Structure 1
């Protein structure tokens, strides 16, 4: 091959061969005594020697997938996932008070657009806020009203 190249001949695709030993043939078992014939790696006798058993078969014992308890209930596909904003975050975003709308919160980067927003009561509030969002928790409502604000 290399002598052909030295002579100035062009290397062509049909001359290419895989490197020696790189394509090892898979051993075919059960094809005569000399080459893993007879038991063909299955050992001697028994169910597994005679035919294939399905995955997870435990020889008649109650299988694991039937022994384990079943999951109860279901996952509600219609559940509404609210974006949470706490009262402390509102106090931080609106230090002078004012109107709080979803559009304002999106503009300030507190929430993402096109998703419902819920205000929760974690933290303290000392400024007057007028809240207009999808939902407000009872504790948040108390704190907002106590600070002189209102919830629409």
Structure 2
């Protein structure tokens, strides 16, 4: 056996339909497209979402809501996460690079520190925003909350 005498298994393939090759073929004339109408013509393509003239779903459903162009999205980081990251390390200054390296935020994200959990170590935390409870907890532990 070699590449020159390989064949598909018997019955696994069928001959292609040769459409539009005269009436003797049984598929001449309309070439399996039916009679007249847009679908029988070359170049026909249905518009996406077209429902045969019925009002399409996209137009039946009302517009809803709006997007506020001035919205600022923050990446939230809680105090218990900061405590876990700094419990065995010698780091006391947590800046943007620290959050990026720890995988808590991307380099373009704005960071907001929230007050869930407790910290016992004095930390200097640099972030774009802080909740009131987070600022209280950081200062109570002897640290500093610096807004970027």
Q: TM-score band (shorter)? A: 0.5 to 0.7
Task: Determine which structure has more spread, i.e. the larger CA radius of gyration.
Answer: 1
Is 1:128 matched up with 2:118? no
TM-score by length of 2: 0.57
Q: Quote the RMSD (CA, aligned, Å).
A: 4.4
Return the match for 1:87 from 79, 91, 96: 79
Aligned to 1:141: 135
Within-5 A mapping of 1:36-115: 36-43=27-34, 47=37, 52=44, 54-55=46-47, 56-70=49-63, 72-74=65-67, 76=69, 81-95=73-87, 99-102=92-95, 105-106=98-99, 109=102, 111=104, 114-115=107-108
Structure 2 residue runs without a partner (length 5+) = none
TM-score by length of 1: 0.56
Give the total of aligned pairs. Answer: 137
Structure 1 residue runs without a partner (length 5+) = 1-15
> Deviation string for 1:45-65 (max 9, x for gaps)?
685676557344433321233
> Deviation string for 1:69-107 (max 9, x for gaps)?
34542475x865544331012222333897323167259
